[in-house]
Amino acid sequence: NAGVTQTPKFRILKIGQSMTLQCTQDMNHNYMYWYRQDPGMGLKLIYYSVGAGITDKGEVPNGYNVSRSTTEDFPLRLELAAPSQTSVYFCASMTVTIFRDYNEQFFGPGTRLTVL
């Protein structure tokens, strides 16, 4: 049981390059999230998914895309990287009962991305 894994841990991109941040969870969680955290700030929701095949935008989706073809994987795609996308990216997964009276939730270790 590895929890939530993210790859890579660090990455430097040049402006205009593209990349995919990988996120995998092995807990059969239905909900998955991508957040970015700028220095000294809170977490901003980029995209989320409530199950395989279902995704929706969060607060700051521009410049990103996601897919959720399986329960386990939720990759985040950056197209045409810009310096404003320099941040730490966290993936999280959660399970919630229908009555929302229980949840189990874990964050991945994060990916530090720098765009130069």
Partner 1 sequence: QKEVEQNSGPLSVPEGAIASLNCTYSDRGSQSFFWYRQYSGKSPELIMFIYSNGDKEDGRFTAQLNKASQYVSLLIRDSQPSDSATYLCAVFPDSWGKLQFGAGTQVVVTP
Q: Which residues are at the interface with partner 1 (CB under 8 A)?
A: 31, 33, 35, 41-45, 48-50, 56, 58-59, 90, 92, 94, 96, 100-101, 103, 105-110
Cβ neighbours of residue 63 under 8 Å, at least 6 residues apart?
A: 78, 79, 80, 82, 84, 85
Q: Minimum distance between the CB of residue 40 and partner 1, rounded to whole angstroms?
A: 9
**Tokens representing residue 9 in the block:** 């841990």
Q: Minimum distance between the CB of residue 50 and partner 1, rounded to whole angstroms?
A: 5
Residue closer to partner 1 by CB (options 25, 49) is: 49
Residue closer to partner 1 by CB (options 17, 107) is: 107
Residue closer to partner 1 by CB (options 31, 75) is: 31
Q: Minimum distance between the CB of residue 90 and partner 1, rounded to whole angstroms?
A: 6
Cβ neighbours of residue 91 under 8 Å, at least 6 residues apart?
A: 4, 6, 21, 23, 25, 32, 33, 34, 35, 74, 76, 107, 108
Q: What is the Cα–Cα distance from 102 to 66, expressed in whole angstroms?
A: 27
Residue closer to partner 1 by CB (options 15, 41) is: 41
Q: Minimum distance between the CB of residue 116 and partner 1, rounded to whole angstroms?
A: 21
